[in-house]
A and B are shown apart, each in its own frame.
Chain A
Amino acid sequence: MGFLKSIILLAACVPLSAQWPKALPPGVPRTPDGKPNLSAPAPKNPDGKPDLSGLWQAASGKYLQNLAADGVQVPVLPWADAFFKKIQASEGAGRPQERCLPHGIPDYDALPMPIKIVQTPKNIVILYEAYNHFRQVFMDSRSLPKDAQPTWMGYSIGKWEGDTLVVDSNGFNDQTWIDDGGHPHTEALHITERFRRVDFGHIELQLIVDDAKTYTKPWGATLRLNLLPDDEIIENICENEKDFAHIVGK
């Protein structure tokens, strides 16, 4: 797990605390002592759907390091197996974030840095603290594009299945990795994310990776996202390669 070292170095560049005030947003249920009641029921919107809005963060960093951290056998094709092993052997050298390039999906979900979900009926915007990137999930019943221009964050549409938000994405370029461990993908990548806000303070997020040019069948993991109450995203601008010289790797 030598590549961990490079991750730790990169993570150290992130501001650890901020003077931005702890603003107490209205609508947060509280226990009698004033603390947020994270096990209260999930809030609903006027349209009856769960409201996922809020500041969230992956509960564990292990899925960022390896989406198969729970021991799932990754159904990897030979070229991808070789790529993954090369990355592992080189302690993660070449990771796109060395060069301030975006995380993709799903590793943005698994990254233990805050994300903010801003939900409106026809469009959900997700703001990522890391690099201040954003992503849109279109909720207006449109279809996925058939021949999308490849992008870092892909093209995402969402729909509700009961109380679960199901987000389908395609149109990715092949420049990102599935996780920091180096599971690769091609432009054929299709990601399904199933967000279920189980209570006020927790989202269960099922990730399914489908890329027939890299994996023989879909695989993935189920993550937990924790609400960060009374907190806020801070700015994070990645300054060109200034860390690059300090990153370990072979």
Chain B
Amino acid sequence: MIGLMFAGAIACAPAQWLNQRDPRIPRTKDGKPNLSAPAPRAANGKPDLSGIWKVDGTPRPEMERLFAFLGGFEVPGDDPLTFNKYFINIMADFKPEDDPIRPEFGPLMKQHGRNAKDTPTTLCLPMGMPWVHGLPEPFKIVQTPGLTVMVYESERTRQIFTDGRKHPSDPDPSWLGYSVGNWEKDTLVVDTIGFNDRTWLDAIGHPHSESLHVVERFRRRDFGHMDLQVTFEDPKVYTKPVTVNYTQTLLPDTDLLEYVCTENERSRAHLPNP
């Protein structure tokens, strides 16, 4: 956990290629982006989700109530109490005793929580899903007919096939899985299987197996806001499916910065291993 915060702190950097005015963004009379304008449509009539998005943080009082212990990990520009609660604990809505993790996986989770050196991200490995949805960093959706691409500032790239194909029957296990998308009215429903078991669901180390199945429902409520509902199930590790809700806000007139997790593991030596 501590290691995660340190790793996150490295990601923040300003750059000159921000502040690029986007002529496609509707504006109020004073020239500011009008984030409550209607959501744009693609040529096929479906909502166009394209743009740069970032997850909203959870209100601070709730974060303080849930994760008071995080206050000590604040570093300038990277205060974990501004994060989304599900980034820290995907089961934040459950009382600890109601966490649907099967008892036999409790020790594995404890082991994850104890050893920050083994957090996949401290090894420059992918964060995976649904953890990445709580990450307070921008990602970009590029929607084209038949294919929607999601590129993450500090994650890897994801392809979501919207050309009608089905999941492969026995996919190669991969860090980000195999995703197919379908429209249900104005909601893009992304169904993903084919994960390996090496990512965590959150910072405190909720584990999962290769049976993980994630369904994401993206609905662009208006120009500047996206509702994202994520339901995941993994019957080998959890007793029931779990649903969490995020709001994402458009970041207008900007772009992704490059983020390369460089020089592998140089931070790792400095992480605590209590």
Contacts and interface: CB of A to CB of B under 8 A. Distances in A.
B52 to A, nearest CB: 11
B10 to A, nearest CB: 15
Given A132-B157, A148-B17, A21 B264 contact: no
Interface stretch (A86-94, A97-105, A199-207): A97-105
Contacts of A145: 16-17
Interface string A121-145: 0110101000011101010101001
A234 B177 CA distance: 10
B146 interface: yes
A73 interface: no
A18 B149 contact: no
Interface string A9-44: 000000100111101011000000000000000000
Given A100-B264, A145-B16, A19 B172 contact: yes
Given A120-B142, A149-B15, A136 B265 contact: no
B18 to A, nearest CB: 10
Interface in A189-239: 232-235, 237, 239
Contacts of A153: 258
Interface in B141-187: 142, 144, 146-147, 149, 151, 156-157, 159, 161, 163, 165, 168, 170-172, 174-176, 178
B122 to A, nearest CB: 10
**Size range of the interface on B?**
35 or more
A237 B268 CA distance: 19
Given A147-B16, A148-B16, A18 B172 contact: yes
B168 A134 contact: no
Nearest to B152: A134
Contacts of A152: 258, 260
A171 B168 CA distance: 40
A148 B50 CA distance: 25
A233 to B, nearest CB: 7
Given A118-B142, A235-B176, A23 B161 contact: yes
* Interface class of chain B by DSSP: loop
A241 interface: yes
B151 A125 contact: yes
A133 B142 CA distance: 15
B44 interface: no
Interface stretch (B86-94, B123-131, B228-236): B123-131
A177 interface: no
Contacts of A155: 17
Given A19-B168, A120-B142, A237 B126 contact: yes
A122 B17 CA distance: 16
A134 B264 contact: no
B171 A20 contact: yes
Contacts of B16: 145, 147-149
Contacts of A235: 156, 172, 174-176
Contacts of A240: 123-125, 264-265
Contact of A125 (B17, B142, B260, B265): B142
Nearest to A150: B258
B28 interface: no
Interface in A161-210: none
Given A26-B163, A99-B264, A127-B159, A142 B20 contact: yes
Interface string B79-117: 000000000000000000000000000000000000000
Closest 4 CB pairs of A and B: A240-B264, A132-B156, A235-B174, A151-B258
Interface of B: 13, 15-17, 20, 23-24, 50, 123-126, 142, 144, 146-147, 149, 151, 156-157, 159, 161, 163, 165, 168, 170-172, 174-176, 178, 255-258, 260, 262-265
16 contacts: A23-B161, A23-B163, A102-B260, A118-B142, A127-B159, A134-B157, A136-B255, A148-B17, A149-B257, A151-B258, A233-B159, A235-B156, A237-B126, A237-B175, A239-B123, A240-B123
